[in-house]
Amino acid sequence: MANKVTAYPGAPTLTWMIAKRVCNPYEDADAFISFVGRKGSSKSTSSIAFAEGLAVDIAHLRKKNEPPEKFFNIDHIKSVTESGAIELLTSGILKNENSIILLDDTGTQWSARSFQTLINKYLNAILQIARVYRCVIICNFIASKHIDIQARGMTDFRAEMQYKNVKDGQAIFKFFFLEQGEDKEYKKYLTWKGKRLKWWVIERPSEEIYAKYKQMRQENTDEYILEAGVKIQAKLNPKKGESGRPPKELKDYASMPIVLENINKVRELRGQGVQIGTISRDLGISRYWIDKCLSIKDIPREPVVGDDDF
């Protein structure tokens, strides 16, 4: 049975080393970090805990009496969604200096199978300019080959999950600085006082943010499965008309009661700069339906007696 691991006396924490990199006033440096490992290896839990600890160290190093939640909170996480990564990275969060973004299950958002799609192109472009605001972008996925090849080439650091101690709530991993050659990737251990730091240990995130994360992940997973089913049915059983397109009822979200009830409030709050996660909690609807409210071009109105099509 594994025993609880303790830190090496005097060694700096990993989050402190990364925080010093992005808070260096003499250099515009960001950090793109990937967490990789098999299913159930604690990638998601560990990356959340890492982001929380990093936010604390960033707040301390900036010396502006700022709360850590300014740099990382539940609104900075996207999990199990096709377009969530681009929605989050274009939401304005990256314009807040030293912000931390966590893209969970990145294979569904930044897939290697979707090479050269519009989303991948924009994500890769944003990754190249993130250093302007010295932000930290964290992605986790099962294997590096699951993410777009151009994004892999811009990864600064990689955490490779090794094993977890469920009893004591710890995960053990290796952490590398990456250098890209023409045809090969070079992994280098971080060093401290001339010695290589080969192993790192991380504990669980706070109960508050982990509970919110689990709820969001469950909702997004359900929505992802539902939407995938609709897409498959549209392809397998298209009721083709003259245009050969799927029937309108498969995509007519504007007439759905949940949209009619919430669309005006959603747009009002989003126009005030309120984050989608906050809107979801305030209105009691999922991010999926918030996205639909924002994507509809013309705001629908509820039918009233006397309407021609009532």
Q: Identify the pLDDT of residue 293.
A: 86
Average pLDDT, the chain: 81
Q: Identify the pLDDT of residue 151.
A: 67
272 within a domain of the structure (yes/no): yes
Farthest CA pair distance, the chain: 81
Residue-wise pLDDT tens digits, 110-141? 654 555 566 667 777 777 777 888 999 998 88
> 135 with 263, same domain?
no
Residue-wise pLDDT tens digits, 154-168? 889 999 999 998 888
Task: Please name which of 160, 156, 163 lies closest in space to residue 130, comparing C-alpha atoms.
Answer: 156
Would the pTM of this model clear 0.85, i.e. be above it?
A: no
Q: Identify the pLDDT of residue 43.
A: 93
> 54 with 170, same domain?
yes
Q: Identify the pLDDT of residue 148.
A: 62
Q: Which of 86-90, 99-103, 188-192, 238-242 has the lowest mean pLDDT?
A: 238-242
> 43 with 184, same domain?
yes
d(CA 127, CA 125): 5
Report whether pLDDT(65) > 90.
Answer: yes
Query: Can you give the CATH number for the domain in which 127 is found?
Result: 3.40.50.300
Q: Give the residue-averaged pLDDT of 169-179.
A: 94
Range of the domain at 168: 14-206
Contacts of 76 (CB under 8 A, 6+ apart): 51, 88, 93, 99, 100, 101, 102
Report whether pLDDT(287) > 90.
Answer: no
Task: Please name which of 286, 288, 296 lies closest in space to residue 254, comparing C-alpha atoms.
Answer: 296
Report whether pLDDT(45) > 90.
Answer: yes
Contacts of 266 (CB under 8 A, 6+ apart): 279, 283, 290, 293, 294
